[in-house]
Chains A and B, each alone.
Chain A
Amino acid sequence: MSAVVAPTRHLLQRFLSHRLAVLSVVLLFCIVSIAIFAPWLTKIDPNAIDQLHWNGYPLAPGVAGHLLGTDESGRDLLARLMYGARVSLTVALGAVAMQIVIGTALGAVAGYYGGWVDYVIMRSVDVVLSIPLLPLLLVLTAIVADTSNKAALSFGTIILIIGLLSWPSVTRLVRADFLSLREKEYIEAARAIGCSDARIIIRHLLPNAIAPIIVQATLAVADVIITESTLSFLGFGIQPPTASWGNMLANAEANMPIAPWAAIFPGLCIFVTVLAVSYVGDGLRDAFDPHFNPENRPQSRGARAAFGRKVEPSAEVPT
């Protein structure tokens, strides 16, 4: 970057130089739009069985106006995928919002105050991180499912359970940042002019620690999409007949020999969405990293075709 530019503009420029990340933003925009406007984009009810054509076997793609075919119960696959996007994205955004709020608050308090508060918070982080996430999630959802009935596993419950268990990594991240930031002179200055602790944390520390939090939040969206679909696949997530990319695969497994499309498309949706989110996270990380210079992002000619970035020899190549 030769010319001096405003920080946000500078960030944007750096982000735009990561072409795959930009492409992913466009793709995600499309996916989100499809999810939001699903009822207007398709006239087909995702839970309705095509009584007219369905004869007990899944209909192949293209048959009887079903662009991607139907599932084993004669429900339109495309419509279910579009409505399933709503589930996956809502759960992902909800759980990540919760995880970031809880994680940041606890991490900020632990890092800023230190002492016994820090000790208690970090020990609870240790405890939660020591139980593998997936089994723990399964146990909690199983308990909730049993308390009332499986239908109780609504969006809200799933968001709550995932959000309540995934904050520790954010806490670690924010705490580490706060530990070093709180020693800075401008914090001392803020304290000297009589700022309250809350004001120092929110107005002075948090904005300086925001970059890694944003990157973490993006990557967490990818994680939660996979986690939710895994739970739903195993039968302890979003419950049928509500379509979710995960639970669509649960039934597809048994019918794979006669209806491979029902197993291929939902997984493809998960894969593409998660991949796009990860690329955006990657681009954000590069853009925020002061030591990373996109101008120096080296490429071979062969990779250029695949990546569309600038070609430049690297200083790191050992000779």
Chain B
Amino acid sequence: MITFLLRRVLQAIPLVLLISMVIFGILEKAPGGPLAPYLQNPHLTQADVDRLKHNFGLDQPVPVQYAHWLGHVLQGDFGYSTSNSMPVGAAILDRLPATLELMGCSFALSLVLGVGAGVFAAMRPYTRWDYLITTLAFYGQAMPVFWLGLMLQLAFAVHGLEGFGYIIRLPSAGRCSTDACDVADQALHLILPTIVLAFVNLATWSRFTRASMLDVLALDYMRTAAAKGLSPWTIVIKHGLRNALTPVVTIIALTMPSMIGGAVVTETIFSWPGMGRLFYTALGQFDFALLMAYLTLLAILVVVSNMVADVMYAVLDPRVRLS
């Protein structure tokens, strides 16, 4: 196990380095490159530009610049964010809690609802319930995330949804109200963004869980478990779900990139002060250091989640040998 982990980490390092090189190469191609925010100043003379270039080390070849960047990153210095007027590390740490809160909540929601719905559908296949869930999942995959966000805002924030004599109103922007910012208020602010972000995964995960569960339920040991007189729940959860989860875990890890993409959209629509919006603002002003750090961190996140999937695979299924 330890050797397997070590080997995977050693394989991941060159991949991450390669990715960061590619990203650096792309960002460097931008007009002005890292100097872009400074070049917007009309009072800048050519001599100033040259001096800035020299001071930032931008007159050196790109590989040297990359090595310079990497050296600093390894010491924990991601550079200076021009769009936030603070070090990139501080800007990211500032926004990280909000993003983790949103992504964590929606991850939990899509895990419970997605896997739950998948198991539920698989237990009564080809019935009304199954078709309802499968159809909803299909519709969910066709739904553009940002439009769902807009429609939920329209329903809950603009008008307020009426029903049973109540009007349900939910906040549609930010993390908490300025006047009354307590835990309950924060929870209310979380509801809509969480639902929208969870939607990205909900559909995919439930479809995969259902398919995987159907495969497992047809196996001989399920009949054996029933013959032993085990309760239906023990059969489905302990014998069925545990075995059905193995492929689902892989899918969950592989949907990580789409969830991050979804976070950019969701945070933009709901003015959520997280990393996705930090990235979106940085994009408009071409904040080189921040974009570089953000994309590299995302790539690391994706590589690590793939690694976690492999390990989980082995943990959930003892038949998988880590060699």
Point out the residue from A129, A222, A226, A314 that lies within 8 Å of B125, measured CB to CB.
Answer: A314
| Contact A131–B19 (Cβ < 8 Å) | yes
Number of A-B contacts (CB under 8 A): 161
* Interface segment, one of B47-55, B95-103, B257-265, B310-318: B257-265
B27 close to chain A: CB less than 8 A = yes
CA distance A135 to B130 in the complex (A): 35
Q: Which residues of A contact B279 (CB under 8 A)?
A: 135, 138
B303 close to chain A: CB less than 8 A = yes
CA distance A189 to B276 in the complex (A): 55
Point out the residue from A135, A253, A274, A282 that lies within 8 Å of B144, measured CB to CB.
Answer: A274
A134's nearest neighbour on chain B, judged by CB, is B261
A22 close to chain B: CB less than 8 A = no
A278's nearest neighbour on chain B, judged by CB, is B142
Q: Given A135-B294, A147-B31, A256-B154: A130 and B303 within 8 A (CB)?
A: yes
| Contact B154–A126 (Cβ < 8 Å) | no
| Contact A123–B18 (Cβ < 8 Å) | yes
| Contact B144–A229 (Cβ < 8 Å) | yes
A132 close to chain B: CB less than 8 A = yes
| Contact A130–B23 (Cβ < 8 Å) | no
Interface size on A, residues (CB 8 A): 53
A271 close to chain B: CB less than 8 A = yes
| Contact B138–A300 (Cβ < 8 Å) | no
| Contact A271–B143 (Cβ < 8 Å) | yes
Most chain A Cβ neighbours within 10 Å, of B151, B226, B283, B291: B283
* Interface segment, one of A69-77, A93-101, A230-238: A230-238
Measured as residues with beta carbon below 8 angstroms from the partner, the interface class of chain B is: 35 or more
B254's nearest neighbour on chain A, judged by CB, is A129
| Contact B257–A267 (Cβ < 8 Å) | no
B214 close to chain A: CB less than 8 A = yes
Q: Which residues of B contact A252 (CB under 8 A)?
A: 150
| Contact B19–A249 (Cβ < 8 Å) | no
| Contact B18–A234 (Cβ < 8 Å) | no
| Contact B217–A318 (Cβ < 8 Å) | yes
B321 close to chain A: CB less than 8 A = no
**CB within 8 Å of A: which B1-45 residues:** 15-16, 18-19, 22-23, 26-27, 29-32, 36
B198 close to chain A: CB less than 8 A = no
| Contact A303–B153 (Cβ < 8 Å) | no
B147 close to chain A: CB less than 8 A = yes
| Contact A139–B150 (Cβ < 8 Å) | no
**CB within 8 Å of B: which A195-238 residues:** 222, 226, 229-230, 233-234, 236
B150's nearest neighbour on chain A, judged by CB, is A263
B218 close to chain A: CB less than 8 A = yes
A194 close to chain B: CB less than 8 A = no
A132's nearest neighbour on chain B, judged by CB, is B257
| Contact B154–A260 (Cβ < 8 Å) | yes
Q: Given A257-B158, A300-B127: A131 and B298 within 8 A (CB)?
A: yes
CA distance A306 to B126 in the complex (A): 13
Name A residues whose Cβ lies closer than 8 Å to a Cβ of B: 123, 126-127, 129-136, 138-140, 142-143, 146-147, 222, 226, 229-230, 233-234, 236, 249, 252-253, 256-257, 260, 263-264, 266-267, 270-271, 274-275, 278-279, 282, 298-300, 302-303, 306-307, 314, 316-318
17 pairs across A/B with beta carbons < 8 Å? A123-B18, A130-B16, A130-B299, A135-B298, A138-B283, A233-B265, A249-B146, A253-B269, A270-B147, A274-B143, A275-B138, A275-B139, A282-B138, A302-B128, A302-B131, A303-B127, A303-B128
Excluding A256-B158, A279-B138, A318-B226, 15 further A-B contacts by CB distance (< 8 Å) are: A130-B19, A131-B298, A132-B302, A136-B295, A142-B283, A143-B30, A143-B31, A230-B144, A267-B150, A270-B144, A278-B138, A300-B127, A302-B131, A303-B130, A314-B125
